[in-house]
Structure 1
Amino acid sequence: MGIAGVVRPLGGLVGRDAELDLLRTFVGEGTRGGGALVLSGDPGIGKTALLDEAAAVAAAADVPVLRASGIEFEADLGFAGLNQLLLPLADRLAGLPPAQRDALAIVLGLTTSADAPDRLMIFTAALGLLRDSAARTGLLVLVDDAPWLDRASAAALGFVARRLTGSRVALLIAGRPGSGAFPDRAGLPTHEVLPLPEDAAEELLRAGFPDLAPRARRRVLADARGNPLALLELPAALDSRWLSTGRPLPAALPLTGRLSELFASRIAELPTATRHLLLLAALDGTGELSVLQAAGPAGLADLDPAERAGLVYLDGPTRRLRFRHPLIRSAVVAPTGLAERRAAHRRLADALADEPERSAWHLAEATVEPDDDVAARLERAAQSVLARGDAGTAMTALLRAAELSPRTRDRARRCASAAYLGAQMAGELRGAVELLSQARPDDPSDAVSLQAAVAASFVLLNEDGDLDTAYRLIVGAVRTWNADDGSGADAARAALIEALHTLISICMFIGRPELWAPLHEAVAAVPPPVPEPLALCSVTFADPLSAGPGHLARVDAAVAGLDGAADPAHVSRVGMAAVYVDRQAGCRTALTRVSELGRTGRAVMHAINASLILTFDDFLTGNWDRAQSLGEECLETCRTHGYHLMAWTTRYKLGLLAAARGDERAGADLAEEMRAPTATRRILYFHHVRCLAALGRADFEDAYRNAAAMARPGHLPSHTPHVLWVCMDLVEAAVRTGRLAEARAHVAELRRAGVERISPRLALLAGGAAGLAAPDAEFVAIFERALAIPEGPGWPFEHARVRLAYGERLRRVRAPAARDHLAAALATFERLGARPWTVRAAGELRAAGTGPLTAQERQIAALAAGGLTNKEIGARLSLSHRTVSSHLYRIFPKLGVATRAALRDALAALPAED
C-alpha cells in the first residue's frame, strides 16, 4: 500500500501542514501567472504524496493536470519523459507554428523523419504547447522522480521551467538533493521536504500499526527517522512476533522490496571489498574504525567508493563511520546470506576479544547450534547491560541466551528472567505472557523460579488486578528460594532482591498490615549485606512511623549518594524510600535522569516510578503546571505499556492536583476511576482526592466522611502511611463539623506517634492540626510554632492552608493579625491557581476587613483596577504615591484580595451602598 493511501488517517497528510499550505498557494498563483517549484527530499520522504495533494487542489479548482514520472530503465531513451508528459496534448499540436508542430510530432512518435529535429525547436515547441493549453483554464504539470528522466527530457523541462512567467502553467517537480541530475542543477525555486517531526511520525505509525509493541515502535521510529515510507513499510517486514511481543529485534531491520529499491542499485554497484566492509560496519553498529580495520579483509581505503556514493561518511568529531540513514544499514545487510553474516559476526567477535560484552553479542549471532559457553557469556552481558539501566537490551540478550541453552532448565530460567525484565522494567507485558509459557519447568515438582514468579505477579497486577494471587505467588517463590538455581550466586541473590521489592509494592497496594510479616521475615533472612534501598523501603515505604532517627539518617545518606548513581533501579528505589519521609526533593536530579530513560524505553517501570515521585514533589512544592504535564505524560506511558497498576497512582497525583485547583470535573472523574473494592490503597487514593476537594469548597461534612474513611479519629493504622498526609484534613473537617472531641483525639495520637520527627512537612501539618483543635488560650502559640518551621514555605500550598486556618481563628477572636495571615494565604493560593482556596481565603479576608471603603478609597481602588500605577493615581488625585500605597494597603484586606489584578472583580462584587 503506497503512502498516498495510508498517511491520511485524519483526512490529510500527517505532519505536512506547511507543505500543504505551500502547495495550495503555488497551484493558485502558478495557474494564474505561471511558475515552477522543485520539491526536494530523500527517497520515501513523501514527495509523491505531495504531488497527489497538488493534483487534488487543481482538480477542485477545475484546473487540468498533466503528469509524468522519470523511469530508471528509460534513462537512455531520448525524450521518453517528454513523450510521456505531452502525448495527452497531441490533439493541440495543430495550433503551433508548422516548424514547431513537426518537430514535436517527431518527438511524440506521431511522425517520422530522416533528419533529427533541432533541439531548441523542440524545447520551444514544448513551451508553446503548454502555454497554449493553459491559456483558458490554467494547467498544473507534475513531474515525479525527476532524477530518472532521460537527459533530453530533463533539458527540455529545464528550458520550459525557466520561461513560465506570464503563462498559466504551474510546473511542480519532485527531485532528490545531491543527485547531480535534473532538477538538482536547474537553478529553480526549491522547497526541501524534511522528515516528519517526532510527534507526527509517531501519529502516522500508530495509525498504521496500533498494536505494535512499544519496543518495536521505538525501534521503527528510530530507524525510520521521520521517513513516511519507512514508517509504513518497516513494520510490514517484521515477523508477527515482533509486532506485538517483546521478542528481540534484529540488529538491522528487514526491508520490504520498496525500501530495498531505494538504495539497492547504489550498493550493488560497489566493489566487493567495499560491500564487505559496509557489512561489518552495519553489523557492528558503532562505526569504530579500529574494529573495522581489525575485522576487515582489506584496508579502510575500500570505503571510499561508499563515501562517494553518499552511503556513509566519516564523522569528524568522533572519527567514526556513520551511515547517512539507518535504512542504508538495513539495505546493506538485506541482500547477504546467513553464512556471510555469520562469518562477519565471527570476525567481529574475534576483533573484540578484549571487550567481553560486545564479543559475546557477535559470537551469539555467529553461533547456530546450542552452546552453553556462548549462552553463559550472553547472560553475563545481560547483567552488565542491566546495571546500566538498559532493560530492553538485557532482555534481548537473555532471550538469545535461552535459545542457545543446551539444557532445558537453563533455557526456562533465562526465559523467566527475560519475562521478568519485560514485565517489570522494559514495558513489555504482552511479551512476558508468551515468555512465561516457555519458562515453565518440564518437571512439575520443580519450584517456580523467582524470576517467573515476579513476572507472573506483575502480569496479574496489571492485567487482572488480582493482588492477592500475586502476593501468594511471590511469597511462595521467596520461601522456596534456592541460592544454587544454576544462574550463579550473584544472579540468584539479585533475583531474590527484585522479588522482595516487588513484594513491597504488592503489600503497599493491598494495604493490609498483616501481609507485611512475610516480607520483613524474608528481608531479615537475606544473606548480608542487605542492599540499602531494600532495607530502607521495607521500613519507610511500609510504615514511616516505625523509622527511628538512625533509619532516617540512613535515608538522608542514601539520598545524598544519588548524584553519581547510574543504576535506575537503585535511584527509583531510594526515591521510593524517601517519599513517605519527605526526602524526595533531594533526589530530583537523579530521578529526572531516570525519568528521561522512560522516553527511550530503557527502564520503563523505574522511569514511571521516578516520574510519579517528581510529580508529587512538584505538587508539594507548588510547581503545579510542571506536575500536571509530567503526570499526564506518566499516565500516557502507563497506558502505552499496559502498566495499569501504576496508572492508579498516577491518577491519584493528578486527582490531588485537580482537587486543589478546583477542577471539580477532572477531580471527580479521576477519583471515580480510583474507586475499586479490590485494594485498600486505591480506596485511600479515592477518599483523599474527595476529601481535599470537599475542603476547598468548604463542604466539611463531606470532607469528614472521606477523611474518616481513611483513618478513624484518634487512630493511625500501621502500614498505611497515606493517613499521615491527611492528618490536618481530618482534624479541620472534625472541628468545622462540631466534632471537637474526635479532632483532639487525633491530635493526641499524632503527638503520641511523634509525627513531627519524621519531616518538617509533617511537623507543619501536625502543628496546623493541633492549632485547629486547641483551646482559645493555646492556639496562637501552637500556630506560631508551626509557621516558624524554617522549611515550611517550601511547601506553599500546605503552608498557606495553615496560615488560612490560623487567620480564621484569629478573625473569630477579632485579632488584628488575622488580616496579615489571611492576605498571605490568599496571595499564595492565587499564585498557585488554587481557585476554591482563593475563594475561601478571600471571603475570610473580607470578613476581617475594617469596614466599607471610603469615597477616596473607592476612587483609588477603581484607578488601580484600571491599571494605573501609584504615581499615576497620585497625580490624578493630587496625592503622593506613598499615600496611595498606604491606602491600597488598607484597601486590599477590606476587599479580601492580595493583588491589584483581583481588584476589578472585588469592586464589582461590592454592595451598591459601598
Structure 2
Amino acid sequence: MLDRPGPPRPGEADGLVGRDEELALIRSFVDGAATVGGTLLLTGEPGVGKTVLLDFAARTAEAAGSLVLRSAGVEFEADVTYSGLHQILLPLGGEFGLLGAGQRSALSVALGFGVGPAPNRLQVSEAALALLRRAADRQPLVMIVDDLQWLDRASAGVLGFVSRRLADSGVCFLGAARLGTESHFDRKDLPEHELRPLGEEAATDLVRSRFPTLVAGDRVRLVAEAQGNPLALLELAGYEASGPQAAAGSAAPVAGPPVGRLETLFASRVNELPAPTRRLALRLALDATGDPRILQSTGPGEPGPSDLEPAERSGLIRIDGNPRRIVFGHPLIRSAVVKDSTGGERRHAHRALAQLLADQPERRAWHLAEASIEPDEQVASLLNEVAQLVLGRGDVVGAVATLLRAAELSPHGPDRSRRLARAAYIGAEAAGDLRSTPRLLAAAHAAAPGSNESLRATTAASYMLLSGEGDIDTAHRLLVGAIEAFSVRDDADDRVLNEAFATLLLVCFFGGRAELWDPFHAAVADFACDRLVSLCASTACDPVRTAAAVLEELDCMIHGSDEEVDPARLVRLAQTALHVDRLAGLRKALWRVARDGRQGGAVASGIHALILLSHEDFMTGRWDDAQRLVDEGLQLCQDHGYGLGALPGRYVKALLAAGRGDFDTAAAVTHDLERYAAPRGLGVARMYVAHARALAALGRGDYEAAYQQTTAISPAGVFASRVAMALRVPMDLVEAAVRSNRQAEADAHVAAMCATGMAVLSPRLALLVAGSAAMAASDSTATALFEEALATPGADRWAFELARVRLAYGEHLRRARAISAARVQLSAARDAFQRMGARPWATRAENELRATGQKRSHGGEVGPGALTSREREIAMLAVSGLSNKQIGERLRLSARTVGAHLRNVFQKLGIASRAALRDALDPRPCEPPDEAGSRGRHKS
C-alpha cells in the first residue's frame, strides 16, 4: 500500500489478509482477458483496499503476458478534456495506424495528437473501442482505472461506452470508484463488487502480521478505532509503533472517522518533509500526468528532481518504471497534500506547472487560470482559445465550462459579456443546458449594460425563448432587429451570423406564418449565409416549390453525411431532408448523434435526432420503433426543459395514437398541443393538430371532420406558399373530399398536385399523387390509375400510405365485382395494417374482405413467419436475383407456378415487388449495430 521501511506493503505479500474472495475474483477476471474480456468495478470507501487490489491485478496481468494500461482520475484536473483517456491510450499511440482513416482522425483530434474535423463523443468512443480491440488481437489488454469518480466528463463518457462492449474482445476493464461520490462515469448495469471493511478477526490478523510487537491491548483498541478500514488500521498502527509519540508513550488521536484521521496522519507525514520537497509534492498533486518533467526546477531557489528523495524514502511518493510516471502511494495522500497547503502555495505551484507544461495549451491555460486571483485578459484569451480547441475536439460541455472560466477572468465588460453569451448559446443549442441560459444571459447583460442587443447575445436569448418558452413573436422581433443592426466589422467571427440565421429559420418554421419569412429572406439576401441554412430554408419554407438544383445539392450533402461530425449541422441537415422525404439517407448519422446525446455529449442534438428518427419510423410503418424513440425523446425534453423541442415529438405521438385507433390519447395529445401553441403563436403546432385529428377522423370514418381538418392546413385545390405541412396531407384531403361527396374539391386538389410537379420530389409524394388520382377517378379509369400507383418505384418504403392505396383499390375492385383481385389487395392492406398496429384500418380491410365472402383471418398469419417452406425457398431464390424461369428450373416447377407462389409471398409480406423482398424477409432493427457489433465481437 505504501513504500515505508519495515513491514511490506499490502499486495506485495503472498496474499491480502481477509481478501481471499476478492483475490480469487480478480485472478479469474484477469485470466479471462485473453479469451473473454469484460468489465468489473470495485467500489468502497477510501482506504478499504481498492488501489491495492488494482496493483495486484496489474501484477497478475503482466505475469500472464497481458499489456496493462493504467490511468486514474484526479480531482484537480477534472476540467481538462479527455485527460483520463489520454493517459490510458498513450501507450497505444503506435497502434493508431491499425485504425481506418475516419477513426484515426477522430481519436487523434480528441486526444490532441492531430488536427481535423471535430469528432463527437460517439465517434471518439467507437474509435477508442476499435483501437483497443485491434491492439488486443496482438496481445491481451487489461485497462485499470482508479478513482473513476474523478475522471473528466469526456473521458468518463468514452470509457463508459467502451466498458459495456468488451465481451469476447480480449480486453478487460477494471475500475475502482469511491462509494457515495458523484461521478461522470455511468456505473449503471455494470458488474460491481463492493469491498466491505474487514471483519474483526481479519483486522486483528492484519495488525498482528504487520506489527507483531504491538501489545494486545493497543491492538484491540486500534482494531476498534479503524472500523475495518485496512489503510486506517495500518497507518494508525504504524503511527503508534514508529512515530515520535511512541517514545513519549502517547497515542494517535482517536476522534473522527477513519478517512478523516487518515488524511490527518498523511498531512502530518507530509509536514515532516523538507520545505522544497513539500513544494514539489504540491506541484505533483495538482497535476494528473505524473510526467517526470514536473520535477524540473523553474528557476533559482525552486525545487528540483533531487528534492523528491525524502518523499520517496517516506513511502508517500514513488516512481513507476513502465511507463516512467510519478505516483502517490494512495489518492488520500494527494488530497492531504493539497488540503494542507495555503492558497498562495497552490497558486505558486500552478504557475510553475504552467511554465513546465508550455507545450500543452489546455493544461497551461487552466493552471494559469488557477494561479490568477484577479481578472487577467491574457489568461482569459488563452481560455477562450482553449474553448474553441475543446469544441473542435467534440466536447461541447467542456467548451461551455472553459468559456465560463474565461468570462470570470475577463477584466473588460464587453469581453466578459461576449464569452458569457457564447457559452449560453452553445449550452442551449447543443449541450442540453437550456435552463442555465437565462442566468448566463442576465450575467452577460450585467457585464456590459447596453450591449445586450449584440447579435451573439440576442441569438442566445432568442434560442432560449424559442426552445424553452416557445415565444415566437418576441424571438422573431429580437433576431430581426439584431441582424438588421449587425455589421460584419463588429465581429470578425462570422459564426455568430450563421447561428443567428439558423435560429431565425427555426423561429419562422415553428411560427408557421407566411409573413415571418419575409425578413428572413431579406436578411439572407444581404449577407453570405451558410449554405446548409439556405437549403433548410428552401425545404422548410416551401418544399412543394423546391428547385431540382436544391434537391441535387441536398442529396450530395446527405451522401457525405458520414464525414460530418458537428451534431448540430447533422440535425439541421436532417430537418432539411425531412420535408422532402430524404431522412432514410441520414439514419446512420442520426443514430450517431442520438447515441452521443445518450452518453452525455450533445444532448439537445441527441433529442432532435431521436424525434427525427421516430418521425421517419412512423412514415415507413415501423410504429413500435417510432413509439419507443418518441417516448425517449419526450422524456429527455422534459428533463432538460426543451418545451419547443417536444413539439415534433408530441406530433408523432398524436399520429401514432390516431393511426392505432387510440382516439382518446390522440385527442388528449392534440388538446395539449393546441393549448400550448395558441398563446405562443406556434402556427406549425396548429397544423400538427389538424393532421393528427384528420388521421383520427379518417380512422373513425368521419370524413366530414377529416375534410375540415385537412383544409385547415391548405384549402382544396391550393398548395399555399410557405406551408410545408401541405405536403403531409394531400391524399388525406382527397380521400376525405371523395367520401364526403365533394368530388369537385377532390378533382381540384388532384389537379393542383399534378400542376406543382410534386411527384418528382420523392417516391412517397409520387405514390400520393397517383393514389389520390385513382381515388378521385371514375370507375372506368380507376383500375389503371391504381395499378400505376402501386407500380411507383420505391413505394414499398412508405408502408402506411401504400396500404391505404391498396385498401382503396380493393374497395374499388369489390364494387366492380372483381372479387379475386379485390381479395389480393385487401389482404395485403390488412396484413400491412396489422403489422403496424393500425387497428381501425385493419378492421376496415377485414370488413371489406368479409364482404367479398372471405372468412375472417386468423391473427398472426402474416409476415415472414406465415410463409410455407416452399414459399420461403422461392422467396430466398428470388432475393438472390434468379428469374421465375431460373427458379423453376432449379426446383422443377413451371415459371407460372413460381409466379403464383411469389404472389402469395407478396400478399403475406404486404409488398408489391421483388425489390422489397429482402427487407420484408429480414426487417431492419430499430437501431443499427455499431461497428464493433457488426463484427460480432461484443454484446451491448
TM-score normalised over the length of structure 1: 0.62
How far apart, CA to CA, are the structure 2 residues paired with 1:572 and 1:387?
18
Partner of 2:489 in structure 1?
A: 484
- Unaligned residue ranges in structure 1 (runs of 5+): 1-39, 48-142, 157-173, 183-256, 872-881, 900-914
The aligned amino acid for 2:506 is S
Contact kept, 8 Å, 2:829 with 2:845, in 1: the verdict is yes
One-letter amino acid of the counterpart of residue 748, structure 2: A
Q: Which residue number corresponds to residue 470 of structure 1?
A: 475
Taking the aligned partners of 2:327 and 2:786, their CA distance within structure 1 comes to 65
SS class of match (2:489): coil
8 A contact 1:313–1:324 mirrored in 2 = no
Q: How do residues 13-24 of structure 1 correspond to structure 2 at under 5 angstroms?
A: none
Q: 2:238 maps to which residue?
A: none
Shift of 1:261: 3.1
Q: Does 1:715 align with 2:723?
A: no
Q: Does the residue aligned with 1:602 lie in a helix, a strand or coil?
A: coil
Between the two proteins, the alignment pairs up a number of residues equal to 641
- Going from structure 1 to structure 2, the CA distance change for 1:592 and 1:300 (only over 3 Å counts) comes to farther
Quick one: which amino acid aligns to residue 497 of structure 2? Answer: L
Query: Which AA in structure 2 matches 1:721?
Result: A
1:732-790 Cα shifts (integer Å, max 9, x gaps): 11111111111111111111111111111121122222211122222222222222223
For 1:35, the equivalent position in structure 2 comes to: none
- Distance (Å, rounded) in 2 between the aligned partners of 1:444 and 1:784: 68
Residue 441 of structure 1 contacts residue 448 of structure 1 at CA under 8 Å; is this kept in 2? no
SS across alignment from 2:563: coil
Contact 1:823 1:898 in 2 (8 A): no
Deviation at 1:283, TM superposition (A): 4.6
TM-superposed deviation, 1:683: 0.9
Q: Deviations over 1:673-697 (max 9, x none)?
A: 1113232111111121122222223
Residue in structure 2 matched with residue 29 of structure 1 by the alignment: none
Looking at structure 2, the residues matched to 861 and 629 of structure 1 have their Cα atoms a distance apart, in angstroms, of 24
Q: d(CA) in 2 for partners of 1:613 and 1:323?
A: 49
Partners of 1:331 and 1:627 in 2: how far apart? Answer: 53
Structure 1 Cα separation of the partners of residues 780 and 712 of structure 2: 31
**Which residue in the other structure is 1:696 paired with?**
699
Partner of 1:517: 518
Matches within 5 A, 1:434-583: 434-440=439-445, 446=451, 448-485=453-490, 489=492, 491=493, 493-527=494-528, 530-583=529-582
Deviation of the 1:479 alpha carbon: 0.8
Deviates more, 1:440-449 or 1:592-601: 440-449
* Residue 351 (structure 2) aligns with: 346
Q: Give the structure 2 partner of residue 681 of structure 1.
A: 684
After superposition, the Cα gap between the structure-2 partners of 1:303 and 1:703, relative to the gap in structure 1 and judged at 3 Å, is farther
Counterpart CA distance in 1 for 2:579 and 2:667 is 25
Flag the 1:310–1:753 CA change in 2: closer, same or farther, 3 A. farther
Q: Specify the alignment match of 1:655 in structure 2.
A: 654
The partner residue of 2:44 within 42, 45, 52 is: 42
Contact 2:427 2:434 in 1 (8 A): yes
1:686-743 residue CA offsets vs partner (Å, 9 max, x unmatched): 1211222222232322322222222211121222212211111111111111111111
Counterpart residue number, 1:829: 833
CA shift for structure 1 position 509: 0.9
Equivalent residue, structure 2, for 1:590: 589
Q: For residue 118 of structure 1, what is the aligned residue in structure 2?
A: none
Name which one, 1 or 2, has greater alpha-carbon Rg: 1
Distance 1:700 1:423, change over 3 A: same
Within 5 Å, give how 1:98-137 maps onto structure 2. Answer: none
Match among 744, 752, 756 for residue 753 of structure 1: 756
Residue identity matched to 2:567: P
Q: Is the 8 A contact 1:383 1:394 kept in 2?
A: yes
SS of 2:359's equivalent in the other structure is coil
8 A Cα contact 1:144 1:175, kept in partner: no
Amino acid at match of 1:543: D
Paired position in structure 2 for 1:396: 401
Contact 2:420-2:444 within 8 A present in 1 as well: yes
Q: CA RMSD in A?
A: 4.5
Alignment check: 8 A CA contact 2:511 2:682 kept = yes
Q: Check 1:784–1:291 CA distance in 2 against 1; reply closer, same or farther (3 A cut).
A: farther
Task: Quote the Cα distance in structure 2 between the aligned partners of 1:811 and 1:291.
Answer: 87
Q: Is contact 2:615–2:626 with CA below 8 Å preserved after alignment?
A: yes
Is 1:409 aligned to 2:408, yes or no? no
**Deviations along 1:117-172, whole A, 9 cap, x unmatched?**
xxxxxxxxxxxxxxxxxxxxxxxxxx99546889659999xxxxxxxxxxxxxxxx
Equivalent position amino acid for 1:340 in 2: E
Shift of 1:291: 6.7
* Contact 1:411/1:439, CA 8 A, preserved across alignment: yes
Residue aligning to 1:705 = 708
Q: Tell me if structure 1 keeps the 8 A contact 2:318–2:326.
A: yes
Q: Is the 8 A contact 2:716 2:748 kept in 1?
A: yes
Separation in 2 of the partners of 1:821 and 1:303?
Answer: 87
Counterpart amino acid of 2:839? Answer: R
Aligned counterparts, 1:766-845, within 5 A: 766-815=769-818, 816-845=820-849
- Determine if contact 2:867/2:908 at 8 Å carries over to the other structure: no
Give the aligned partner of residue 612 of structure 1.
611
Matched-pair contact (CA < 8 Å) for 2:414–2:451: no
Give 3-state SS (helix, strand or coil) of 1:439's partner.
Answer: helix
Q: State how far apart, in whole Å, the 2-side matches of 1:312 and 1:756 are.
A: 73
Distance in 1 (alpha carbons) for counterparts of 2:257 and 2:313 = 23
Cα separation, 2, equivalents of 1:680 and 1:307:
74
Deviations 1:200-252 (A, max 9, x none): xxxxxxxxxxxxxxxxxxxxxxxxxxxxxxxxxxxxxxxxxxxxxxxxxxxxx
Take 1:539 and 1:732, find their aligned partners in 2: how far apart are those partners?
A: 29
In structure 2, C-alpha distance between the alignment counterparts of 1:541 and 1:499, rounded to whole Å: 17
Note the C-alpha offset of 1:667: 2.3
* Cα pair 1:274 1:306 within 8 Å, conserved: no
d(CA) in 2 for partners of 1:45 and 1:628?
A: 47
Q: Which moved more, 1:464-473 or 1:654-663?
A: 654-663
Cα deviations by residue, 1:414-450 (Å, 9 ceiling, x for unpaired): 2222222233332223322122122227776646111
SS at match of 2:779: coil
User: Which amino acid is 1:631 matched to?
Assistant: V
User: Deviation at 1:507?
Assistant: 0.7
List gaps (5 residues or longer) in structure 2: 1-41, 50-194, 209-225, 235-255, 870-892, 911-940
Contact 2:660/2:840, CA 8 A, preserved across alignment = yes
Using the TM superposition, name which of 591-600 and 434-443 deviates more.
434-443
Is the 8 Å Cα contact of residues 572 and 591 (structure 1) preserved in structure 2?
yes
Question: Which stretch of the first structure deviates more once superposed, 259-268 or 669-678?
Answer: 259-268
Question: Offset of 1:345 from its aligned partner?
Answer: 3.0
